[in-house]
Structure 1
Amino acid sequence: MLPRFDLSTDLGRQGYDQCLARLRATASSSSDAAATVERVVADVANEGDAALVRYMQKWTDPQFTADRIRVQPTELASAVRELDPELREAIASAIKQVREYQEHILPRDPKPIELGGAELGLRFTPVDSVGLCVPGGTAVLFSTLIMLAVPAQVAGVAPDRIAVMSPPPTRTGDQAVGDISPIVLATAHLLGITRVYRIGGAQGVAALAHGTASVEPVDMIAGPGNVFVQLAKAQVAGVTGTDGGFYGPSEIVTIADASANPARVAADLIAQAEHDPGKCFLVAWSPAVLDDVQSQIEKQLRERKRVAAIEKALTQDSCAVLVADASQAVAVANEIACEHLNLAVADPDAMLKEVRHAGEVFLGDTTPVAAGDYYAGPSHCLPTGTTARFTSGISCYTFLKRTGTVAYRQGMPKRAIDHVARMADAEGLDAHAASARLRGE
């Protein structure tokens, strides 16, 4: 089912390169999608609710109306009351786990340092308000709300300054009008969030950035979504802040050796493939390992519900890669720079030292990627489309600003004044020089 490419052959290298090129293309703005997003963002900026409703009708629900944009507080409270008690316990436990991890990594202001008569410091402060993108068109990803909101709250963003956009299910044919997931609503209530909008796509991002009569603008937008959501975030950057990442279709790279349990490896690949779309890469230096995992994929696939989506992902957007050795396997993983990297090898800690690019790394075949998706602690909102080469996943860091501080409490030393003035004069900025010299008079 997984196309196999042997990197020791020209044909295998060509097939792998083509697969990698398709992966990189998902994060490219040079496409028809970019032109569509540009038009949508401009329309919402100029027309507000009218354009927002029009695009929601076009892509989500033909009967969508402006009065459905904002979720009412009573709906949030009702959703919690109706939530299955065992699911509520699981959600509350996940919130607690993620919160404790994010609090553990939260940066603290460093102690000031004295340099050349100056007291120099650094302050971390949160953004004032954020809009969180929670997918909802084809799958109910209430876990994404946890993975976005908890890091923002730990950073210091107040719950009443957090907005959530999550669209109702995409309506097709004669389906009844669907609504935003009640589990998303219940999760928002458990997190203390009251501002929830039934919107999504590029139009939702544009509304959060520019504001409309029904949607209050925010200072930052963060979260995953399809290519239209990601491109919209890029286009509104500057109007509002963004998370700076490309968090698109899910993907996984698994490096496996003979010690790996093929059933576990296959299960992780299938789990990411069911995202629809999902992209999976299996890397090994043993043909037998590839064969064993492939057999397990075919066996387990019969037991899954989203078979069509999984088969499509595995046959069209994924591949198995046969490499020469462990060193080349890591080189391939660094090249793919994937969202999830699973090191299903005998000594994952040793291999981890060679990993440079990955959104999140899962050590050993005893560690399911699903644990990171729902519960472990690090956010599952991770860079995709090979962008882990230069960006990171969502965390409390995402919602913090860094501000330097400078204090010459005893006045500037003469040596510092002379150096500043000399440099300013060399740049032709005599007012800067004069400002420094004035402190020495």
Structure 2
Amino acid sequence: MIGFLTALLLAGLIFLVSLQRPQWGLLIVATLVPFHGLLLIAPVTASWWKEAAVLAVVAGALFAPRERDRVAVLPWLRPALVLVAVGSASAFLVLGEQAAFPIKIAFFYIIPAVVIYCHPFTRADKDLLVTLLLSTGAITAAYGLWQQIIGGWALADLGYEWNEAIRHAGPLLRSFGTFNQPFPFAFFLMLVLVVGFAAAMAQPRRFRSKLYWWLSPFLLAAMLSSVVRAAMVGLVVALIVLGIVLYRRLLALLAVLAAVVAMLLPLALLLDPGGAVSTLFSATSLEDRGGHWSERLPEMLVQPFGTGLGTTGSAAERLHNWGSPVAAAYQPDNQYLKIGLELGIPGVVLYAVVVIIAAVVLIRLIGVHTDALEQAITAAALAMTLAACVAGFFSTYLEIFPLDFYFWFLLAVGASVPASAKAQVVFWQKSPEILKTNESEKVDDH
């Protein structure tokens, strides 16, 4: 009962805040979701608080005043809503009255993007978001490194379960921070590192930027302690994207670091055979996944329209545990294979269209921005989108909370611009006259 009342109270407070500015309500949600995993040992609220919080933002947004000088350029919302309709229809056809849960898992967190479409983020909102992400990242990273110090048995005494939250990779305990598993912990720290890096490069003299450079090794160590290799690959991809679109010097630095790692890695493996380093760079899990991917991939050709939303992954596992006639869950560990198995080739094509349109818009917006911080946030949103796409080859990225929330949220935040920029995105050409006009039309959103 206490958890129920706490969730309602939190939703009520977020609703009141969202009546003034829905952006603030979403910032509160974005700050709180990394701590959802703490409910495993401290159930101070109901597990559905996060859905209630998002719906509270929606309710407040219906009555909140709109800012006419800002827009969110989200043309990808239309194909995304088509994907929602196709997925929902397939879920109802296959699962009937049990379709609500997989629909929620797959599509619920597109809602914040719709809210931002109606109430775009300002420069001040984006600036506050960077500060909040860096703060929550530091807290959860500290908790994750502390887990390495106390060990698995002490974590079990706190109430965490073995083989759920507490996991090992060879001799290494996999940190999970304030999350319920290592995977969201690692991907969230990847996000904090990328957004923080972009903001620090945009405002190098600011105290927050200097603080980021001191915290970044700490954040990186915590991410590595999770032993989630997809997050390591995603971080490299995101930094390469930032280097291509904004910070060319970063590419040279990454090349030097790659050369250093290539030279030192063989020596590290010789000095620590079968230990932490070999575990960190082991390809065993990828080989295992590759085996079952090759077995399942032909099913997309046998059933080109899929088996229905919610028939694989965590949604199917939950339904199976609830006594659903759905077969024992198959975990694809691949976002694209999951979409293909459930929604067939049309689902994969729709998802690709959504991501491609979103990426193209963000690339164009980077060239339109005249404010360094806003440009950096848009570039970070692009980098995180492409990093998530790469990570999706090794995980069901959009089925891992709160990564699904941040994926759609950042796409909309990065596409929030001054109203005057919208036409430039649609019709923009790299002509000197337009570029000169862009430089002369500076917008101050403070």
Give the number of the structure whose residues are more often strand, by fraction: 1
TM-score by length of 1: 0.24
Give the number of the structure whose residues are more often helix, by fraction: 2
TM-score by length of 2: 0.24
